[in-house]
Structure 1
Amino acid sequence: MSLDRSIRWRGLDPVTLEHCHVISTPRDTRIRGTIVTPTYGLFYRIKLDDTERVRTARLERTDGTLLELFSDGAGNWSDDRAEPLPNLAGCIDIDIWPTPLTNSLPIWRSQWTIGTPQRFAMAWIDGDEMTVQRNEQIYTQLDTGHFRFQGANGFERILEVDGDGLVVDYPGLFALAS
């Protein structure tokens, strides 16, 4: 993947504004984003290796709360003190609340057959609480521009993505900002 692009989303519930920049080369992908919520600001940086696997994630809120995660790309994680995080074993991707950007990670990394669901173990990061936990998710490509996303507790949405695999419509939660 080769990409050098900025994108903005507005969150619908809660109301947020996000600006994100993705730079992808044959060597790696670097993502930087800023989210403004009603109660805090969140800066995030994600680095993917040349196979689109998450290697580092750093989140910092405007109140100074910091969360850093490191991965070997094979599903083994540690925190900023190099302490292993066994509850995330097998997770290749991350999913950060509140951004639709991280829905692109498994889309970019995987080979797709229309109508065939794929299950992913995600390191799900709650930006409100600055915590991380394992979360199982299912993605199914419906056509070139749409994926069914199924999360925990029966949550389901049809995500619209653009030609770069970035979410442009996440019904009820996120839309492109003008």
Structure 2
Amino acid sequence: MFTPLPSSAAWLHRDARTGFEVTYFRDDARGVLIEGFATAVEDAEVWAIDYRLRLDGSWHTRSAHIVGRYPEGRRAVTLQSDGLGRWQVDGTPAPELDGCLDIDLEASAFTNALPVHRLGLAVGDAADAPAVYVRAADLAAARLPQHYRRIVDGDGQRYDYRAPDFDFRATLDYDESGLIIDYPGLATRAA
């Protein structure tokens, strides 16, 4: 179990890109509302992402509104889920995303907290957690297979994380409220 979320958190993005992310959390009768902002320079490209995520009480992503700002202009996308893994992208059904319960924003270190909260894994347990992956550069949404295995804990929780489509594997460290502290090659918690 995790302690309650703080009112805000921030991450310094490093290695893969240079930037910063800030999130604000609010619990209400419908679940959790997360509002966040990420800005970065990645591969000599500049972008800024503004996101608003709505989670239900079980930490299933129910909606996401994402706005990207780029040198050539602004883009936006809205994703909605029934909470059972069926999605719409800008109002159009997206059956290729069926079975995804979480959203994973490429621009965000925070969104790797969603499956960890939702799954509630005990030490040694593992689960697949496919997510709707939204790219920072163009806000395109695609299915991303992911796998989490909870490993020995310290002050918080640790997970062996794999994203096979990117041939990526890392140990992710989370604090007592379930927010990522260290995402190797991507971000470290700043506040």
Report the TM-score when normalising by structure 2. Answer: 0.87
The unaligned stretches of length 5 or more in structure 2 are: none
Report the Cα offset of residue 11 of structure 1: 0.7
The alignment partner of 2:117 has SS state of: helix
Structure 1 residue 79 and structure 2 residue 82: aligned?
Answer: no
Gaps of 5+ in 1: none
SS in 1 for 2:145: strand
- Write the letter of the residue equivalent to 2:160: R
Aligned to 1:177: 190
CA RMSD between the two structures = 1.5
Match of 2:60 among 53, 58, 62: 53
Give SS of 1:114's match: coil
Cα separation, 1, equivalents of 2:5 and 2:184: 25
CA offset at residue 25 of structure 1?
A: 4.1
Normalising by structure 1, what TM-score?
0.93
Partner amino acid, structure 2, of 1:71 = S
Identical positions, percent: 27
Partner Cα separation in structure 2 for residue 108 and residue 25 of structure 1:
17
Secondary structure, counterpart of 2:121 in structure 1: coil
Q: How far apart are 1:96 and its partner, in Å?
A: 0.5
Q: CA deviation at 1:26?
A: 5.6
Q: CA deviation at 1:91?
A: 0.6
Q: Distance in 2 between matches of 1:68 and 1:77?
A: 10
1:23 matched to 2:26: yes
Higher relative contact order (Cα pairs below 8 Å, separated by 6+ residues): 2
Aligned residues: 177
* Residue in structure 1 matched with residue 158 of structure 2 by the alignment: 146
How far apart in 1 are the matches of 2:110 and 2:168? 18
